[in-house]
Amino acid sequence: MQRSARSIPGVPYQFSDSRLLQQALTHRSLDRKNNERLEFLGDSILNFVVSARLYELNPANDEGDLSRLRARVVRGETLAKIAAGIDLGRHLRLGEGELKSGGFKRKSILADALEAIYGAIYLDGGFGACAAVILHHCDAVIAALPEAQELKDPKTRLQEWLQGHGHALPRYTLLSEEGLEHKKRFRVRCSALETEVEVCGEGGSRQNAEQSAAKTALDLILEKYGK
């Protein structure tokens, strides 16, 4: 990309100040004047714009549901997919080390650069212009979101089902912890006694093992009792 470029494909905005676009595309590995501050700004605006859109489209969802939906839209993995879809990596300005290691494909670098572009658009053209570009990129993601209930983790869904049916909360018991410090395996028992369900789960952390056990327990309960 030439220094005088005022736009890039996939971002429907023409910059008045091309230096802002250049800075948004500049990784810290290349220059002290890089995109980190713009990323901070763009991240905040992205969260607000997506929050407002979800609030408008989902009047029946509570704060927790809206937060889970927003997290799915603004997470790094989603932003990296958007950035890859517009071939943003081709325009990044990276230091020699990042170029050699394939930094233009790295998800974290792509996601950060996309947020930096949002920040640069806000400074160059104002909130309305920035919001329009964000929604251009994110509306399709928002439209494809699953139901908020599906985004809850298994422990939360199991707890809500049990409480909703007047049962006691599940109990999680650590059964074993094995392996080297960096490769531990945990085994946990989940007991939902009033439903006569007791299962085990394993994972690389106690939390992951509990989530695994909760998912198995919930699947069995729903199979046994229905929704």
Which residues are identified as catalytic?
43, 115
Query: d(Cα 69, Cα 64) in Å, to the nearest integer?
Result: 9
Residues whose CB is less than 8 angstroms from the CB of residue 34 and which lie 6 or more positions away in sequence, other chains included: 23, 26, 27, 28
Burial degree of 151 (CB within 10 A; 0-12, 13-18, 19+): middle
DSSP 39-107: HHHHHHHHHHHHHHHHHHH-TT--HHHHHHHHHHHHSHHHHHHHHHHTTGGGG-B--HHHHHTTGGG-H
Q: Residues 6 or more apart from 105 whose CB is under 8 A from it?
A: 84, 89
**Amino acid, single-letter form, for residue 24:** A
- Tell me the sheet residues that pair with 191: 171, 198
Please state, in angstroms and rounded to a whole number, the distance separating the CA atoms of residues 199 and 187. 11
